[in-house]
A and B are shown apart, each in its own frame.
Chain A
Amino acid sequence: KQEVTQIPAALSVPEGENLVLNCSFTDSAIYNLQWFRQDPGKGLTSLLLIQSSQREQTSGRLNASLDKSSGRSTLYIAASQPGDSATYLCAVNSGGYQKVTFGTGTKLQVIP
């Protein structure tokens, strides 16, 4: 059974800082991995998708890396802004039905 863990559970940083969110998963036989953000009481916004054959993906100030063999992914946010405050979820696509298993989430607060 795939298990996905995110560290830290919560993070508070001043505006402008660069930061790294971590995701680890137990079964390295994955199809792909996605990073999402979720605002309070809202649905999910997809940020980045990394296929199992890829090492990283970039979108604007976001960069996600994948080390499948070690079961790790990181989300790097450059020059953080208050608008980046949200919960960030890592989701791993694996298994026979390609089920998406979500991590525990990192709640980010960027202080102006």
Chain B
Amino acid sequence: GAVVSQHPSWVICKSGTSVKIECRSLDFQATTMFWYRQFPKQSLMLMATSNEGSKATYEQGVEKDKFLINHASLTLSTLTVTSAHPEDSSFYICSARRGSVNTEAFFGQGTRLTVV
């Protein structure tokens, strides 16, 4: 299967700082990438859909100014958590799809963010 690489796998940051998470499709081009977050013992919730060269589409309730998404190339999307607070501590995971129709979604290994 295709490979989606996410970096870093874990990060600890202080309250008020910003953290950037990268998601790369290593062996295919992804016009669309998705960002999810997962709270402990809960399922994955879609945060936003990232389209190469255009603005991301955020799900209801997700603050676009707090979670900045950039999809500057067909192989890279970034999620920046700005002015992080302890309640932003979560597991963030990205997904990319190869092709546009009926294709399998490939997931990164996730990033564990802890804000202290």
Contact = CB atoms under 8 A, between A and B. Distances in A.
B57 A97 contact: yes
Contacts of B57: 97
Contacts of B104: 32, 34, 46, 49
B46 A46 contact: no
Interface residues of B, number: 26
Contact of B107 (A31, A46, A98, A105): A46
Nearest to B104: A49
A45 to B, nearest CB: 9
Contacts, number: 54
B102 A43 contact: no
A93 B105 CA distance: 9
B43 A89 contact: yes
Q: How big is chain A's contact interface, by range? A: 20 to 34
A66 interface: no
Interface of B: 1, 6, 32, 34, 36, 43-46, 49, 57, 91, 93, 95, 97, 100-102, 104-110, 112
14 contacts: A32-B104, A41-B91, A42-B110, A43-B93, A43-B107, A43-B108, A43-B109, A52-B102, A97-B57, A98-B32, A98-B97, A98-B100, A102-B44, A103-B43
